[in-house]
Structure 1
Amino acid sequence: MNSVLKLFDLTGRRALITGSSTGIGFALARGLGVAGARVILNGRNEARLRDAVRTLHDEGIEAEASGFDATSQSEVETAIERVEAGFGPIDILVNNAGMQRRAPLEEFSQEQWRELMQTNVDSVFLVGKTVARFMIGRGAGKIINICSVQSELGRPNIAAYTATKGAVKMLTKGMAIDWGQHGIQVNGLGPGYFKTELTQALVNDETFSKWLIGRTPSRRWGDVEDLVGAAVFLASDASKFVNGHILYVDGGVTATL
């Protein structure tokens, strides 16, 4: 049994999590840290990033901050080189940076479309390929791209968001195909509806919450801690022959009409 548990041990590994000062990203960083990884938190709000790192330090987790814009190629390249040189090789990458914009598609502006695409898709491409270049040289690495149930399913007024998450799903498969030969596993983690700062308005909407809970076989909203086990699995040796897979943690939403 001990040998099986060791497959999930991340001690000594370094994990970069983009968009991790709050919400799902922070929960994943904390979970990987508890599993033994040294975590590098990323975000654009320096004050929020410092607070997040301080919280993890207080919990006994080894953490550092790397503030950069994940949609800027120059910032990404500079930051990744700095992390690799100063903090150590990145063994695990979690591409979590993302955003949501809600509006009927016919009213969606080109600027809003570009903003969503840059944040949700370009960031995965830019950070993914930059980190992968280092991983390829080492012949090993784990990349987890944060997808969504909207990688599979649609909802009113989020067509653009659904397009971005569908793109992340297929980009994940493409990364796995190109980089699997180099000892890199690239998989997606697809959250369902989770209670976070960004979804609090929906949580508070009694009509929506009632509909969602009735639509979800597990009959509740997700808590961010529900994602940790899946993330540790995909980041660890336990998943060393899992590649190009999207693991949905959604309480069963994608299983039912």
Structure 2
Amino acid sequence: MGRVSGKVALVTGAASGLGRATAKRLAAEGAQVMIADINETRLAEARDEIAQPGGQAMLHVLDVTSEEAWERAVAETVAAFGKLDILVNCAGVLSIADIESETFEKWSWQHRVNLDGVFLGMKHGFKAMRQGGTGGSIINFSSVLGILSLSNIAAYSSAKGGVRAITKSAALHGGPLGIRVNSIHPGHVRTEMVIDGVSAADYPDEVWQKLAEQYPIGRVGEPGDIADAVLFLASDESSFVTGLEMVVDGGYSIQ
């Protein structure tokens, strides 16, 4: 307990899935957390869930593709908690399509949310962390599919690969400022989005089994697996870690 006590975090995509699990984990370890998402109803549920065991959280409705919205979110976080120590760029979207069938509209949408949103978050997160004067930690959600790829995720893979690259540039910029920047690359994780997709299949049990067989560790990930990795990168335990691609995929990518 208390691995990020005294720290202030802003987590996007926090209404559900990995963002929600991450926000809960940081709050449970002592951080004050501003949870941000475009879904206000789910965001309020997440805030109440964090607060129930005594965690400290406020919510901010955020469209990560808007620079003005990012400016407001960061400013409100600093106004509410006095500083910004941790930024987790987790908001993301996915379209299943190959390079021929993907539409330019969905291509652009995925890049706006998955890549532009990370750029804007870092731009304004850097500013707040510099003003705070004590550095900080930025964790950008990429994917194992930002390193490897599949034939039917052309836009998603492109955007997540961009997150991988921009993280390294930002880490080089942030090093002298005491701001660490790392990317995290999950494999399949049992989030609501994945559960809904599998449940829609004709034989969901077989789909889960086939997914598990792709992983040397013998199972798909759980949200807590990823939240624990984010916690390490957010904490002072990783004070000598920057520019890292932290792959949390049960061995999927080493085959």
TM class, shorter-chain normalised?
over 0.9
- TM-score, length-normalised on structure 1? 0.93
Q: Contact 1:11/1:37 (CA < 8 Å) preserved in 2? A: yes
C-alpha distance in 2 between matches for 1:207 and 1:39: 38
Offset at 1:207? Answer: 4.8
Aligned equivalent of 1:126: 120
Percentage identity across aligned positions? 37
* Mapping 1:72-83, distance limit 5 Å: 72-83=66-77
Offset at 1:202? Answer: 4.3
Q: Contact 1:202/1:209 (CA < 8 Å) preserved in 2? A: no
Single out whichever of 199-208 and 143-152 deviates more from structure 2.
199-208
| RMSD between aligned residues | 1.5
C-alpha distance in 1 between matches for 2:87 and 2:110: 21
3-state DSSP of counterpart to 1:216: coil
Q: Does 1:26 align with 2:26?
A: no
Deviations 1:49-71 (A, max 9, x none): 11110111112111110112111
Aligned equivalent of 2:6: 12
Q: Contact 2:32/2:81 (CA < 8 Å) preserved in 1? A: no
Q: Does 1:188 align with 2:188?
A: no
Q: Does 1:61 align with 2:55?
A: yes
* Mapping 1:81-160, distance limit 5 Å: 81-137=75-131, 138-160=133-155
C-alpha distance in 2 between matches for 1:9 and 1:225: 16
Offset at 1:208? Answer: 3.9
C-alpha distance in 1 between matches for 2:17 and 2:181: 22
C-alpha distance in 2 between matches for 1:22 and 1:202: 15
1:153 to 1:208, Cα distance in 2 relative to 1, 3 A: farther
Offset at 1:136? Answer: 2.0
Aligned residues: 250
* Mapping 1:151-230, distance limit 5 Å: 151-204=146-199, 205-230=204-229
2:183 aligned partner, one-letter code = G
C-alpha distance in 1 between matches for 2:160 and 2:70: 21
Offset at 1:88? Answer: 2.0
1:219 aligned partner, one-letter code = G
C-alpha distance in 1 between matches for 2:180 and 2:169: 11
C-alpha distance in 1 between matches for 2:227 and 2:205: 27
Single out whichever of 121-130 and 200-209 deviates more from structure 2.
200-209
Single out whichever of 157-166 and 208-217 deviates more from structure 2.
208-217
- TM-score, length-normalised on structure 2? 0.94
3-state DSSP of counterpart to 1:16: strand
Uncovered stretches (5+) of structure 1, i.e. residues with no partner: none
C-alpha distance in 2 between matches for 1:21 and 1:221: 22
1:197 aligned partner, one-letter code = E
1:211 aligned partner, one-letter code = K
3-state DSSP of counterpart to 1:107: coil
C-alpha distance in 1 between matches for 2:136 and 2:33: 15
